[in-house]
Chains A and B, each alone.
Chain A
Amino acid sequence: MDKNIKVLIVDDFATMRKVIRNLLKQGGYENIVEAEDGVVALKELKSQKVDFVISDWNMPNMTGIELLKTVRADGDLAKTPFLMVTAESLQDNVVQAVKAGVDNYIVKPFTAEVLSEKIAQIIEKYKAS
């Protein structure tokens, strides 16, 4: 499992970005960039090669689901692995995210082990396809 992948964390809460960064480091991931909303995330995605996106759902300016739809509709970014993080797990939200092309979905709270496992599953899926 390649732990050198560049991971983009998108969350409007600076503290939550730090928490996820901390959990990623516990899982061996050190190559991390951050964005505070979907708009900034898109700029990051356009300006550098990002291997994996971990995005919050509820954010101002551009939500996680809007970011996901924009990424999937962009020829250059469409195949970027995308993990949605949220406090919500309502059925409608899950269906909406799956329809928009999310690779997986993780509900807060979660451990470093669960996060690493989800990332590994998604990376393996992309390798196999």
Chain B
Amino acid sequence: MDVRYINPFLEGTISVLKTMAFIEPRPGKPFLKKDSTAKGDISGIIGLTGTASGSLALSFSEKCILKIVSNMLGEEITIINGDIKDAVGEITNMVSGDARRRLEAEGINLQAAIPTVVSGKEHSICHVLGGPSIVIPFETEHGHFVVDVCMGKEQ
């Protein structure tokens, strides 16, 4: 996978969470992921097409997403409910939009599909291209999450 795709998604993720949830996540070292098991308890997945194609997934630990959404809504949420699933879809949408603006500046134009949300322990993430994907791990004071990107040239 072209490494040019990594930074826009990394920067987009930090920007969205900092602005909307007042949380500044710390990125770790990206790694290659070959299986489809999610690295979190709830994931938002969005398909991308255009100059390149593929998909983006954000997988959050339960503790982490509860704090993120509580901050976004200004009210404490203690269980994964409809608001949390709704918010994961919207966060995925926003990260996709932010990253696509950054990619557009580099001549890579992408359109996004509607995000889907999957939850549960060890759920699967099915990337449009099948994989492997690049995973960027993030740490926050409230737990971890990952950005899981699988992009390739247009078929």
User: Residues on A close to B: CB < 8 A?
Assistant: 13-16, 18-19, 22, 25, 58, 86-90, 107-111
Give chain A nearest CB distance to B50 CB in angstroms. 10
Complex Cα gap A88–B112 (Å): 9
Residue of chain B at shortest CB distance from A22: B74
Complex Cα gap A13–B85 (Å): 10
Given the known interface contacts A88-B97, A108-B94, the answer about A18 and B83 at a Cβ–Cβ threshold of 8 Å is yes
Give chain A nearest CB distance to B96 CB in angstroms. 7
Complex Cα gap A88–B15 (Å): 15
B-chain residues with CB within 8 Å of residue A16 when the two chains form the complex = 86, 90
The count of residues in chain B whose C-beta lies closer than 8 Å to any C-beta of chain A is 25
A-chain residues with CB within 8 Å of residue B112 when the two chains form the complex = 87
Give chain A nearest CB distance to B39 CB in angstroms. 23
Give chain B nearest CB distance to A58 CB in angstroms. 8
Flag if B19 contacts A110 (CB, 8 Å).
yes
Flag if A15 contacts B19 (CB, 8 Å).
no
Flag if A109 contacts B87 (CB, 8 Å).
no
B-chain residues with CB within 8 Å of residue A58 when the two chains form the complex = 114
A-chain residues with CB within 8 Å of residue B151 when the two chains form the complex = none
Partner of A15, one of B16, B90, B98, B104: B90
Flag if A87 contacts B93 (CB, 8 Å).
yes
Give chain B nearest CB distance to A63 CB in angstroms. 13
B-chain residues with CB within 8 Å of residue A108 when the two chains form the complex = 16, 20, 93-94, 97-98
B-chain residues with CB within 8 Å of residue A13 when the two chains form the complex = 86, 89-90
B128 within 8 A of A: no
